Amino acid sequence: MKSNIRSENDFDVLELSGEIDLHYSPELRELILGSLKGGKALLIDMSDVGYIDSSAIASLVEGFQTAKSTNLEYGLLSISHPALQVLTLTRLDQVFSLYDNVEQFQSQF
Amino acid sequence: MDTATTNAIEIRDLVVDFGSRRILENISFDIHQGEIMVIMGGSGAGKSTLLRCLLGLKAPTSGHIHMLGTDICHATKTDLYKMREKMGVAFQGGALFTSMSVAENIQLPLREHTNLDENTIQIMTRIKLDMVNMLPHENLMPSELSGGMTKRAALARAIIMDPKLLFFDEPSAGLDPITSAELDELIIKLKKSMKMTIVVVTHELESVFAIADRIAILGDRELIQIGTPHEIKASCDKRVIDLLNRTPRESIVDSDAHLKRLTRNAQS
């Protein structure tokens, strides 16, 4: 997994790429929770994610729960097909807010 | 050369003896990455023995099994342990620990093999319980589960680590048709979404043709045939046809020989 986090005015964008499995999900969790601690909304760009396992999904879920409890916007951007398949299998495609572009996310606040 | 297909498992010249009895004779075939391979055969055909060899629970008399590049027949304990982290197994009887709840059973591999945060473990457990429709039953003890629930809990435990290789021993045995069909559907979804290579040992014909990408048929200690469901259905081999048609064993043709077999050690 490779990651990059950049700050926009009102929110952070976490860009992810590569495979995210048991070895990388603790790092993903730290990145997500660390960003949310800063009190800004978070958009996770998953366009270049090749594979995602359930430990990574668990990190995304925990992030979503944390964002909800602190009233912060939280969304997933341009999810790659392999990652979307796993989200669909776990029925979480109906739970997360999914966006096709940054503007859609920005319009939420 | 076909470079599109990668083998997850390569079985070469596998021979297994139990004492003086030969159970498997020169078995060789490949299981491709991302496919569902069903191993079938009549009772005593050697299916369970082959599965035990694939799981590293039984050392073959001779031959090799390469699994994701590791020769598991000659691997060190450490290598075998590492390989098992990539494998999930759903045993026929469930093999759940009776002193633990369903959720605790499912979490066990994560607690043994990873240092994941407690929140991650809890969420992963619930994701897998939801996938097998067992989320409302996470706090039940194994003794409180029906046969179908036990199988679904065993499957949740088998996939908790998102294994590269998933092994099923008779997943549909003893299940009602609806539960069995649900399980078949889930097996196919796991292959597609999680990119798992899945090996199923069964003799439930309906399930076989519902889920298999390819089928390996064992009989008389040997690999009789391997092929797609279409190829297997079109087989001209009498043993395959008999197995698919559920033909009973041949009636007695040599009464003297049969009498001899029955009275071999009896005093006259």
Read off the pLDDT of residues A96-108 as tens digits, 9 standing for 90 and up: 999 999 999 999 8
Give the pLDDT of residue B16. Answer: 95
Put simply, the answer to whether B124 touches A59 (Cβ < 8 Å) is no
Which residues of chain A lie closer than 8 angstroms to B189, CB-CB? 89
Domains of chain B, start order: 1-86+197-268 (3.40.50.300)
Q: Which domains are present in chain A?
A: 2-106 (3.30.750.24)
ipTM of the complex: 0.88
pLDDT at A31: 97
For chain B (268 residues), the mean pLDDT of every run of 10, in chain order, is 74 94 94 96 88 91 93 88 88 85 94 92 95 92 90 92 92 82 89 91 88 94 95 92 78 71 73
Dump pLDDT digits (tens) for A58-107: 999 999 999 999 999 999 999 999 999 999 989 899 999 999 999 999 99
**C-alpha dihedral (B230, B232, B233, B239), degrees to nearest 10:** 180
Chain B hits for A91, CB-CB cut-off 8 Å, are: 130
Beta-strand relationship, B7-18 and B62-67: antiparallel
Better-predicted residue by pLDDT, B4 or A14: A14
The confidence score (pLDDT) of residue B33 equals 94
Give the residue numbers in A contacting B (CB under 8 Å), as ranges.
21-22, 25-26, 29, 51, 53-55, 57-59, 61-62, 82, 85-86, 88-92
Q: Which long-range contacts (C-beta less than 8 Å, at least 24 apart) are formed by B50-54?
A: B50/B11, B50/B14, B50/B16, B50/B24, B50/B201, B50/B218, B51/B167, B51/B169, B51/B199, B51/B201, B53/B14, B53/B16, B53/B24, B54/B9, B54/B11, B54/B167, B54/B199
> Which residues, 6 or more positions from A28, have their beta carbon under 8 angstroms from its beta carbon?
A1, A3, A16, A20, A56, A59, A60
Per the CB < 8 Å rule, is A90 touching B162?
A: no
* pLDDT recorded at residue B2: 45
Q: Which pLDDT value is given to residue B3?
A: 47
